[in-house]
Amino acid sequence: MELFLIGILFFFSMLALTIEILSGTIKFGLISFFLTLFGTVLTYFFFGLDASIWTLAVSSILNIGAITYSVRSKSWEKFSQKQSIEGKHDDKESERKLLLYPEQIGKTISSLRPNGRVSFDGEIFEARSLNGQFIDFGKEIMIQKIESSKIYVVEMQ
């Protein structure tokens, strides 16, 4: 019975190590370490010092072998992020927004729910209604405020 318990502990230790290698999180590596340690301690109590030293040696060789294999085979690369953001900042859009000022009058060219497209002096911009209210298509609007790259508008009454 004791041998079966120790075997199960080492089986789950190796299973946790395999999951660690595939997932890359440190949780399963720690679980594997503590299961190996617990199995070695149980071996010491049930079978003595010689058996526990052999158990520790074999489990250490298996763990080091599994880690070495995962590093050499680069299995962790299957789970790594390889994409990069290729977006560009539109400087022309920022320059166009410099022409806008608070209380400037414009017109919606799409419904603002609460975001949409608006036109000021023939130029089209993305805008947001100030309090999140919906503004229908074709309504006159006024710029309430401009913060960094956002234009906040209200409907003209």
Lowest mean pLDDT among 16-20, 79-83, 140-144: 79-83
Q: CA-CA distance, 125 to 80, in Å (whole number)?
A: 38
Does this model's pTM top 0.85?
A: no
Residue 156 has pLDDT above 80, yes or no: yes
Residues 79-127: pLDDT tens digits? 566 666 665 555 666 667 778 889 999 999 999 999 999 999 888 899 9
Q: CA-CA distance, 83 to 34, in Å (whole number)?
A: 35
Q: Using H for helix, E for strand and C for coil, what is the string for 69-101?
A: HHHHHCHHHHHCCCCCCCCCCCHHHHHHHCCCC
